Structure 1
Amino acid sequence: MPLLAITARASLRLRLLAGTLFWIAASIAVAAWGLGGLFGDHVAKQFYAELKTHLDQLTAHLAVDAQGQPTLTSALSDPRLRLPYGGLYWQVDEIEQAEPAAAPAAGSLRSRSLWDSVLVVPPDAPADGEIHQHRLTGPADRTLGVVERVVRIDQRPDGPARAFRLIVAADERLMREPVTAFNSALWLALGVLGGGLVIAALVQVLIGLAPLRKLRAALGQVRNGDAQSLAGDFPAEVMPLVDEFNAVLAENAEVVSRARTQAGNLAHALKTPLSVLANAATGRDDELSRLVLGQVDTAKRQVDYHLLRARAAAAVRAPGARTPVKAVLEGLLRTMRRLHAERPLELLLQPMSETLVFRGEVHDLQEMLGNVLDNACKWASHLVEVAACVDQGSLLICVDDDGQGIAAADREAVLCRGVRADQQVPGSGLGLAIVDDLAQLYGGELGLADSPLGGLRVLLRLPRGDAAAQIR
């Protein structure tokens, strides 16, 4: 139950359905109880009204013959009264005048339907003119509904009136069976009605929440890079949310663009005086010139590093950016073949899917892969292999070389800024550090391992930007 409650709170669909289904079930239960009760009361009233009609007929036809015995001037019309144990009975008992509170005498007159049975009623007879209504056990131990009255007949003008207790009874099954049949039909009808209401509620919830599914699809397009804003027709209740979200996207895009512009302006503002200092120190062979050139070179590398990191951080916050991987790798490998044309290097790109997409800016992917490939080409003897695939839901790019590799104890150190594995190889010591920082900004990671080719394997894990990644 706690899990169901948590799920219902977390899902708007479940909350709507739970509330609707509860009220449908409650309404059907109340309707069944109310209609069943009303019909039961109606049948009961009809049942006893019919008994009173028979009692009136019995009263009208009761007489005393010449021998002083009670008799009927004509038989009652209902055929059940002539069928043994037919379910409808009447009986006439004479009440002794001397003992009005005592039990009546044995039934002196009764319907053929009673056969050899006698209706045993309570000793207390109703007052003259009153009709009593009660229940008793009749033939075959059936429960009977009973109405009775006392009538008095003057046999002789000078003698006392004789009192007779008139009883009409019927099997209560005649009352219960219609109620049972009605309740069965009622529950069936209400069940069909409830099923229809449940289907209507499901359809209503699905149709009512359809704009939210459409909104989710539009958000997926923005995230995948297929759109720069939410587009489409949405209900009036959802449009304010769409407008606000589009405003946030536009503002965020403006912030990213301004950050890139400021980064470029800062780069030009710093590189110009650094170039002037470098030109001024060039051509002189003294200690001050060498110091200036070294510090200018360090400053340039640090400026490039931090500007690149700032630009990447702004790009990560930009929604919708994605870059096809294969095209970038093919372009970089062509560039590396020209840069290292003086060496007998073979650069191989393993077959990969055209749908592999990096969720990020193309410049950042080129920066990361360019540094990794350049580092592999510098260290490789003859061969560099590049492969890309989907691994554990993310994009994995592997770069292998057949060089000397890096000892496991030294791999963590080369990811630090300014650290170079070999001072004899040209470089600034910032390449892998930049790649590591950029990968972490995108939620990825850079790893180093032994290559099957004998050298170093660089593993670059980055977020995917294709549609399958969003569905997952």
Structure 2
Amino acid sequence: MKAPLSRRLVVVAAITVALLLPVAGALLSAAFRQSVETGFDQRLEALLTTLAGLIENGPTDDTTLTLSRPLADPRFERLHSGWYWQIARADQVLATSRSLWDDRIAATAMPLLGPRGEPLRAKQLDLLLPTGGSPVHLLIVGPQREIEIEVAAFNRLLVIALGSLGLLLIAAFAVQIRWGLAPLRRLGDQLKRVRSGDQPTLATSLPRELPGDLAEVATAINEVLAHQQALIERARSATGNLAHALKQPLAALHLQLDGEKLDRSAVRESLARIGETVDHHLSRAAAAGRVSGLYGRASLRDSLLPIVEAVRSIHVARGLTIVAELPAGRSVRIDVQDLQELAGNLLDNAALAARSEVRLSVIDEADGLLMLIDDDGPGIPDAAHALVIERGVRLDEQRPGSGLGLSIVRDLAELHGLALSLSASPLGGLRVGLRFSAGARATQG
């Protein structure tokens, strides 16, 4: 089982802190060591300058040197304190601090070691005395351990401070992550309730409680759930309608089969009604089954030009003119197959009714796009506009067809939230309009 997201984030935060704080600690420790060593060297430089100012020649010759007064630091008087000074000319030691006693420091050895083998830190100076002669070599040293002790104390404090800071940061990250993921937990709880059937969609108050990005996700999930619920309701309704529609012709068939004499024309009529009913409901099921239409996009020009050419080829023998005014760069939020089925049904109906011309056009409106199909046929009375989109209704029984075309268009339009309208055409026949909302429109690059 994979670890929860919050735990993963806390682990990542802990690893980040565990990696960065030691690096920061090492840099701080190095900076502190450099500062301590610089300060130590500056003290040695100051003591060396003072020592040079206190040198005096001995009373008899220049083989002995004395200080006019002792250095004002008691550590040079304490035996083997680690703080020493030494004055030499060539290889001859002329004077030393009391702390050295009878010992000497090899100034040329590296690293410098004290009488007890302890490492030393030194400053040296070659000085030419006013009395002349060869220059004297001044050496002043201090114990390296004082630097190490000071750095070690700082490092201990640094470890405690950075360790405490690391724990506080991890705790703060954990609280922040838990607080930041709280909206996701609420969203997950709501989805579990939807899955268990306790509620059909996410609570309407949830999007207002979530931050901007998650609010959009919750709204989109609700739209998907509502669409799925609509499809389920359509499927249930279609099943019930199909069962109800088949009862009468099936009952008529039973009567014919149970009767003494079989009326073949009545049987054929019942079978035709059954076939039309099945075709209609299969078409509606196909329309309702394509759920991708709400989330895909179709280019009007690329999708409709093949349909226009197909309708032209079907009616080429009649010399029918089919004009398509489709601007480039327009797309709508609908499945390509659904758009083609909508246009195909409307164009075919218009071509069957037209005398000489059918026109397909697209108009930009403030609130979306309007697709219009006009023909110059006899048209349909205003009172019959609502009637012709019903299943199986044909005003002209002399024409071939099942009367399902506009019914399928109506179902697809309802599925995709399109406004279907019928009116008189400027060409003299019928105008069918399909309005795509502004949210469904886009301009392609």
1:258 aligns with 2:234: yes
Q: Tell me what 2:84 maps to.
A: 89
The answer as to whether partners of 1:135 and 1:146 remain within 8 angstroms in 2 is no
Matched, 1:187 2:173: no
TM, length-normalised to structure 2: 0.54
Query: 1:266/1:170 Cα in 2 relative to 1: closer, same or farther (>3 Å)?
Result: same
Partner amino acid for 2:108?
A: P
The residue type paired with residue 31 of structure 2 is L
Indicate the residue corresponding to 1:234 in structure 2.
210
The one-letter amino acid paired with 1:51 is: L
Alignment of 1:36 onto 2:8:
no
Q: 1:75 aligns with which of 54, 70, 77?
A: 70
Report 1:163-174 matches (<5 A). 163-174=135-146
Structure 2: which 5+ residue stretches go unaligned?
264-269, 271-280, 292-445
1:374 paired residue number: none
**Contact persistence 1:154–1:162 (CA under 8 A):** no
User: What displacement does 1:287 show?
Assistant: 10
SS in 2 for 1:251: helix
- In structure 2, the partner of 1:121 is 107
1:150 aligns with 2:126: yes
Greater displacement, 11-20 / 167-176:
11-20
1:116, CA displacement in angstroms? 2.6
Question: Could you tell me how far 1:22 is from its partner in structure 2?
Answer: 4.4
Kept in 2: contact 1:55–1:167 (CA 8 A): yes
Equivalences for 1:219-368 in 2 at 5 Å?
Answer: 219-231=191-203, 232=206, 233-279=209-255
Q: How far 1:135 moved relative to its partner?
A: 4.1
Aligned counterpart, 2:181: 209
SS of aligned partner of 1:165: strand
Task: State how far apart, in whole Å, the 2-side matches of 1:143 and 1:182 are.
Answer: 21
Separation in structure 2 between the aligned mates of residue 114 and residue 252 of structure 1, nearest angstrom: 95
Distance 2:222 2:78 in 1: 87
Does the Cα contact within 8 Å between 1:89 and 1:113 map onto a contact in 2? Answer: yes
Tell me how far apart the structure 1 counterparts of residues 142 and 111 of structure 2 sit (CA, whole Å): 10
Using the alignment, how far apart are the partners of 1:281 and 1:137 within structure 2? 124
Cα shift at 1:51 = 1.0
Q: Matched residue pairs, number? A: 267
Deviation at 1:141, TM superposition (A): 0.5
* Matched residue SS, 1:142: coil
Which letter maps to 2:154? Answer: F
Deviations 1:266-300 (A, max 9, x none): 11211122333445666x6x6979xxxxxx9xxxx
- The answer for unaligned runs of 5 or more in structure 1 is 96-103, 124-133, 290-295, 297-306, 318-472
Counterpart amino acid of 2:112?
Answer: L
Cα distance in structure 2, aligned partners of 1:91 and 1:281:
135
- Correspondence for 1:64: 57
Aligned ranges 1:122-141 → 2 under 5 Å: 122=108, 135-141=111-117
Question: What is the percent sequence identity of the aligned residues?
Answer: 32
Amino acid at match of 1:110: T
Mapped partners of 2:77, 2:105: distance in 1? 16
Q: Is the 8 A contact 2:89 2:135 kept in 1?
A: yes
Q: Aligned to 2:116, what secondary structure does the other structure show?
A: helix
Normalising to structure 1: TM-score of the pair?
A: 0.51
Task: For 1:448-467, list aligned pairs within 5 A.
Answer: none
Q: In 1, are the aligned partners of 2:256 and 2:262 still within 8 Å (CA)?
A: no
Write the deviation string for residues 130-162 of structure 1: whole angstroms up to 9, x where unpaired.
xxxx7411111111111111223344xxxx435
What's the CA shift for 1:82? 1.2
C-alpha separation in 2, matches of 1:115 and 1:91: 11
- 1:72 Cα shift? 1.0
Residues 51 and 71, structure 2, Cα contact 8 Å, conserved in 1: yes
